[in-house]
Structure 1
Amino acid sequence: MTTQPATIARIYFEALRRGDVPTLMDQFAQDVVWHQPGENRFSGIHRGVDSVGALIGGMMQVSDGLFALEVAGPLMVNGDLVAVPVRFTGRREDASTDMSGVDLLTVRGGKIVEMHLFSEDGAAEDAFWGTV
């Protein structure tokens, strides 16, 4: 029996909250596609679990481990899609961020196969992450 999309999303966000990288990464399909918004050093389409792992690791490195994302509302499910309101915060050097967003997960076969991220203020997020 395949695990329901909402359950996979809950496991993913709880692992992210705890910093449990093995459990977090285990929620992704090997060929996951991640759509990171904006025009910053992390923006673009990242393909494959290794690329997504490098993306997440890079975000943690740039923010000195201070980047955090919390679920800010109910998970909303439509078939294999799960929309999740989030709040993310972070600090790096002399910059900080604190904003709302939505993460849209596509879950098939008990794994996250695609992620689309949305931010309330793309320009502010770009400024926070920087270009290189």
Structure 2
Amino acid sequence: MTAIEVVTAYSKALSQGDIPTAFSHFSLDAKWHQPGNHQFAGTKEGLDAIGKMLADMMDATHGSLVIETTGALMANGNLVSFPTHFTGKIDDRTVDMNGVDLFEVVNGKVVQVWLFSEDQEAEDAFWGN
């Protein structure tokens, strides 16, 4: 599989709620770099830590967190740019913004993910501490 095919397969499985299949596209020691200064920020190492963070995000938003692709995935060697739009609600706080997820794929597996938000300060306020 090409890097774009790996990320596309991950995204498709995730959008269908098929977490085991989504994570089958990740290296067991993958790293997820969540930006900002909030309760979920920082580098998560390994599938257990990444899965816990994503589950906790869904719990915090009562399942309202939605991440959609906003354009074509683009590759530069083993890096894949994934333009996104994400929305969610926590109590009276909402988030509605664009971002970019950058995936590194090695030997057919995602080994690192970096997230970028168009307004990190607003995202920090949304997630809180």
TM-score by length of 2: 0.97
Q: Which amino acid aligns with 1:15?
A: A
Deviation, 1:27, is 1.4
Cα separation, 2, equivalents of 1:118 and 1:46 = 15
Runs of 4+ in 1 over 2 A off after TM superposition: none
Range with greater deviation from structure 2 (83-92 or 12-21)? 12-21
| Matched-pair contact (CA < 8 Å) for 1:13–1:70 | no
Report the alpha carbon displacement of residue 57 of structure 1 after superposing the two structures with TM.
0.5
What is the deviation of 1:64?
0.3
The Cα shift of 1:52 comes to 0.4
Amino acid at match of 1:65: G
Provide the TM-score with structure 1 as the length reference. 0.95
Q: CA RMSD in A?
A: 0.7
Deviations 1:2-40 (A, max 9, x none): x21100111111122222111111111000011000000
Aligned residue number for residue 75 of structure 1: 73
In structure 2, the partner of 1:59 is 57
Corresponding letter in the other structure for 1:105: F
Identity of aligned residues (%): 44
In the alignment, what sits opposite 2:91? 93
Deviations 1:40-93 (A, max 9, x none): 000001001110000110100100011010110001101100001100111111
1:1-132 correspondence runs (5 A): 3-131=1-129
2:104 aligned partner, one-letter code:
T
Which residue identity is paired with 1:31? D
Structure 2: any 5+ residue segments left out of the alignment?
A: none
